[in-house]
Chain A
């Protein structure tokens, strides 16, 4: 389970863990019913407070991404709930806001920005 932290991007550490575990599950690098790293192990690996890891795992459990076996660790759920609409909107919305303000500062009009996005999208597909 490869989780990395970027200390300077202003995203709280527990959220970085949540987002990356979700990503690893969504891309099937963490498979259903496999155990994820124990809280203490991940805390020692990342050199962060175990309470922070515990908080991330708790929220992942509440949203159905992982489940706990009593006294036996934390496991990936079989059918994790997909991201909610509001969560998707929030994540993408933050990126769009950042992109818009940078484009504004570089005097790139909206039409041109949209055209650039389309070109990049076409480039990824080919």
Chain B
């Protein structure tokens, strides 16, 4: 959990990636330290998987740089991949193999493969060694993938949308794997997900991607503590289509504003006191104020009259 020496596991600087017309990643910089759970969220096509493939060395950086454990994963794939446990949304497992054969096969790739641990995990998931991969359900394939990703006790567990389309039991297995990993000797987890409640529960650090750009990046508790929803009364002169735009643009930290009936809903990022004093100066009474959940925050940046990109 908290190890005595913190190491930098991932260092990405100003990474850019272009797929023909699409800017898949644009000036993305992140640092992930050991012992952290780093959650990546964003809509489909935001660049989550592209970013993770750069970490695995499957893509070469077109601009900027990627360092995993201090080395370039494209130039030194063995040095990097031996320290990572990876699970994708649709793990690519050979359908014709039995689970026992697949375990044997996989163990040959990793010096640190722990047979007892692999057997323990299979037992927890209730998987039968004699079964063939092709006969497994999607949930069971994910459980098997989790087992394969963890059995060499990797320093970094990297999960790309692991919970997609799975029932709550298997999702629970995935969250437990994340928790077990960081609870052990300060190992590190990076995972992408669209299940924001799960990300909110287990992440220390959050990154929100939108159209290849980093919209938000920082400690989860700061992100949650600094997003506010404030309701103020709408004056009779306010138009439906943001006639007051210039007024709201002057409000510091305002991310999104919209009129709901006789009230303005203001979603803001920053210190509540500054919003309070701005509204008090404009003689607007605060009708209610609450902190936003990660789900609300995501919707705030992705929909409506958004001033996103200001932070």
Chain A residues engaging chain B, CB cutoff 8 angstroms:
5, 7-8, 10, 12-14, 39-40, 43-44, 46-51, 54, 101, 105
B200 within 8 A of A: yes
- Assess A10 versus B291: contact at CB under 8 Å? Given A39-B1, A54-B2: yes
Flag if A10 contacts B293 (CB, 8 Å): yes
- Which of these binds chain A: B19-27, B88-96, B201-209? B201-209
Chain A residue at minimal CB-CB distance from B1:
A50
Range for the number of chain B residues in contact with chain A: 20 to 34
Chain B residue at minimal CB-CB distance from A43:
B179
Chain A residue at minimal CB-CB distance from B224:
A12
Cβ–Cβ < 8 Å partners of A46 in chain B: 201
Flag if B225 contacts A49 (CB, 8 Å): no
B140 within 8 A of A: no
Chain B residues engaging chain A, CB cutoff 8 angstroms:
1-2, 35, 37, 172, 175-176, 179-180, 182-183, 197, 200-204, 221, 224-225, 287-288, 290-293
B1 CB contact (under 8 Å) in A5, A10, A54 = A54
A51 CB contact (under 8 Å) in B180, B182, B291 = B182
Flag if A7 contacts B197 (CB, 8 Å): yes
Flag if B182 contacts A49 (CB, 8 Å): yes
- 7 contacting pairs across A/B (C-beta < 8 A): A10-B291, A12-B221, A12-B224, A12-B225, A47-B175, A50-B183, A51-B35
Give the CA-CA distance A63 to B176 in the complex, in Å: 30
Flag if A51 contacts B200 (CB, 8 Å): no
A49 CB contact (under 8 Å) in B203, B290, B291 = B203
Flag if A51 contacts B293 (CB, 8 Å): no
